[in-house]
Amino acid sequence: MWKYFFNLLYFTVLRKGEAQALTWEDINFINKILRVTKTLTEKVKDAPCLILPPKTPSSYRTITLSNETVELLKQWKEE
């Protein structure tokens, strides 16, 4: 799992919380795009982790995925 996760971070330049909040519905394998619409917050003072909208409007974005990244994500999903 970590191989896929770190490759995703490297090839997409996602922040850790953005990557952790992704669901398979955020990835369009046919058009090779990934939509960033949420982020995972870290625990603060015993509060649970939360999935929240990004802090700024510019954090909402669509990222074009390389063929290599799409193939890695497909493998990850199959596993």
Residue 1's pLDDT band (cuts 50, 70, 90): confident
Continuous H helices in the chain: 2-12, 16-21, 67-78
In this model, does residue 47 exceed pLDDT 80?
A: no
**pLDDT tens string 52-73:** 999 899 999 999 999 999 999 9
Let me know: does 40 contact 50? Beta carbons within 8 Å. yes
Average pLDDT score, the chain: 91
Sheet holding 61-64, edge to edge: 27-28, 33-36, 61-64
The pLDDT value recorded for residue 64 is 96
Greater pLDDT, 37 or 3? 37
Q: Encoding tokens for residue 19?
A: 């990557």
The pLDDT value recorded for residue 34 is 96
* Of 30, 35, 37, the residue nearest 62 (C-alpha): 35
Hey, what amino acid is at 69? T
